[in-house]
Amino acid sequence: MTTATELYARALGLIPGGVNSPVRAMKAMGLGAPIFAARGDGAYLEDVDGHRYLDWVLSWGPLIFGHADPETVEAVVAAARRGTTFGTATEAEVELAAEIVDAVPSVEMVRLVSSGTEAAMTALRLARAATGREPFVRFRGGYHGHADPFLSEAGSGVRTLGIEAGGEGRVVDFNDLDGVERAIDGAACVFVEPVAGNMGVVPPAPGFLEGLRRLCDESGALLVFDEVITGFRVARGGAQERYRVLPDLTVLGKIVGGGLPLAAFGGRADLMERLAPAGDVYQAGTLSGNPLATAAGLSVVRRLTSDVYDELERKGERLDRGLTPFGRFERVGAMATLFVDDYPALFRHLLERGIYLAPSQNEAMFLSTAHGDEEIDRTIQAVGDFFA
């Protein structure tokens, strides 16, 4: 028996399904137990049984410099020595807010929270308060965290597990501008991942984001970009920088927290100032702006220069050339998905060869600066062997 098998058996009696986030169980991939991580290093993840995996999941996106990035670790350790939480204002929060406002084109003010779920949930509350409207538009297969309004027909684990959850909102197909036009009347907002990342990676069709901006302006709905995945990933300023379409509100997570629990939402100052204590829309958090998380976020965001994105783009193109022959390969910057007929079989084939791909076709593979040409070529070779 492996340590992972033993741990999983124990976990099943203590934690529902043995995991703290559903897709980790890897049930849809037909695995007997989750990967129990022991440590990570750059592009590699090691489990409790000593298996070493080339990691294309990277904790689902935050680790743009790879696992245990030394500068991030140093920043967190130094912050921890000064205190792990204060529950009062800190200098690092102001500095991280300034970095976000500088980086993300439409964001004039920002609030820090602890998860993408919280950020998305509050952005919806704010959009409803600002417009005085309740309905909203979102997209089939999108994912905005697990707050009640967003769950029906959601992507990510909801779709992977085939769960029929309740939810709110008028749900239309991604890239279907006509559908949005039919649904938008009286809506508080259109909530969208500007590059879909939770139905596998699906880029916006040409003109789609511009069309959303126009429809929102015509109807008085706010445009909300959920850039939890795309923020600091498809460009420093996220998809709004890459596609030059500015939303009213932006939801951020993952990279902005440098691998610690931190997320954010921001936007036009007049909207953001509706939040308490400046305004009457309530939102709060014991650990919001946590000093370890802001230290990690600052350490990462300050190093994200255009050189980093040039490097990631070059690596992405190498992946394009290698993987395109094997299926529909969709990539925007440092996020990608290879769509194949039997994804679980490909996943298991790669895992047996020490390559850890996202355990669902509805997720993305993430490039980091720690993934070199050798890692990319080894992955292409192993995918090729699967189809040989």
Name the minimum Å distance from CB 347 to ligand PMP. Answer: 18
Exposure class string for 53-65: b at 16+ Cβ within 10 A, else e: bbbbbbebbbbbb
Options 8, 254, 315, 356, the catalytic residue = 254
Residue 51 tokens, joined: 């298996």
Name the minimum Å distance from CB 315 to ligand PMP. Answer: 22
Which residues within the stretch 102-141 sit at the binding site for ligand PMP (CB under 6 A)?
Answer: 115-117, 120
Site string for ligand PMP, 46-65 (x = CB under 6 A): --------------x-----
- In terms of CB distance, is 123 or 184 closer to ligand PMP? 123
Task: Check residue 145 for interaction with ligand PMP (CB under 6 A).
Answer: yes
Name the minimum Å distance from CB 2 to ligand PMP. Answer: 28
Instruction: Give the whole-angstrom CA distance, residue 263 versus residue 261.
Output: 7
Task: Check residue 198 for interaction with ligand PMP (CB under 6 A).
Answer: yes
Active site residue 143: yes
**Helix (H, G, I), strand (E, B), or coil: what is residue 29?**
helix
CA terminus-to-terminus distance, the chain: 32
Name the minimum Å distance from CB 231 to ligand PMP. Answer: 9
Options 47, 55, 69, 226, the catalytic residue = 226
Q: Which helix (H) or strand (E) holds 46?
A: strand 44-47
| Kind of pairing between the strands at 44-47 and 37-41 | antiparallel
Task: Check residue 290 for interaction with ligand PMP (CB under 6 A).
Answer: no
Task: Check residue 85 for interaction with ligand PMP (CB under 6 A).
Answer: no
Task: Check residue 228 for interaction with ligand PMP (CB under 6 A).
Answer: yes
Smallest CA-to-CA distance from 152 within 137, 131, 168 is with 168
Instruction: Give the whole-angstrom CA distance, residue 253 versus residue 361.
Output: 21
Task: Check residue 204 for interaction with ligand PMP (CB under 6 A).
Answer: no
Phi-psi category of residue 208: left, alpha or beta, with phi > 0 → left and psi -120 to 50 → alpha: alpha
Which one among 18, 22, 40, 197 touches ligand PMP, defined by CB under 6 A? Answer: 197
Give 253: exposed, middle or buried? Use CB within 10 Å, 0-12, 13-18, 19+. buried
Q: CA of 184: how far to CAs of 25, 143, 155, 270, 271, in Å? A: 37, 19, 21, 23, 20
Task: Check residue 143 for interaction with ligand PMP (CB under 6 A).
Answer: yes
Instruction: Give the whole-angstrom CA distance, residue 247 versus residue 262.
Output: 21
Size of the site for ligand PMP (CB under 6 A): 16
Q: Point out the residue whose Cβ comes nearest to ligand PMP.
A: 116
Provide the edge-to-edge strand list for the sheet that holds 189-192. 109-113, 263-267, 249-252, 222-227, 189-192, 137-139, 170-172
Name the minimum Å distance from CB 260 to ligand PMP. Answer: 11
Task: Check residue 229 for interaction with ligand PMP (CB under 6 A).
Answer: yes
Provide the edge-to-edge strand list for the sheet that holds 328-332. 328-332, 335-339, 365-366
Which residues within the stretch 312-371 sit at the binding site for ligand PMP (CB under 6 A)?
Answer: none
Residue 93 tokens, joined: 């929060």
Active site residue 243: no
Options 143, 243, 343, 356, the catalytic residue = 143
Active site residue 254: yes
Name the minimum Å distance from CB 132 to ligand PMP. Answer: 25
Q: Answer yes or no: are the C-beta atoms of 67 and 45 closer than 8 Å.
A: yes
Residue 358 tokens, joined: 């996202």
Name the minimum Å distance from CB 385 to ligand PMP. Answer: 30
Task: Check residue 199 for interaction with ligand PMP (CB under 6 A).
Answer: no
Smallest CA-to-CA distance from 253 within 277, 275, 233 is with 233
Which one among 226, 241, 248, 330 touches ligand PMP, defined by CB under 6 A? Answer: 226
- In terms of CB distance, is 143 or 347 closer to ligand PMP? 143
- In terms of CB distance, is 253 or 383 closer to ligand PMP? 253
Which one among 18, 62, 237, 253 touches ligand PMP, defined by CB under 6 A? Answer: 253
Task: Check residue 191 for interaction with ligand PMP (CB under 6 A).
Answer: no
Task: Check residue 153 for interaction with ligand PMP (CB under 6 A).
Answer: no
Chain residues in the site for ligand PMP (CB under 6 A): 60, 115-117, 120, 143-145, 193, 197-198, 226, 228-229, 253, 263
Give the active site residues: 143, 226, 254
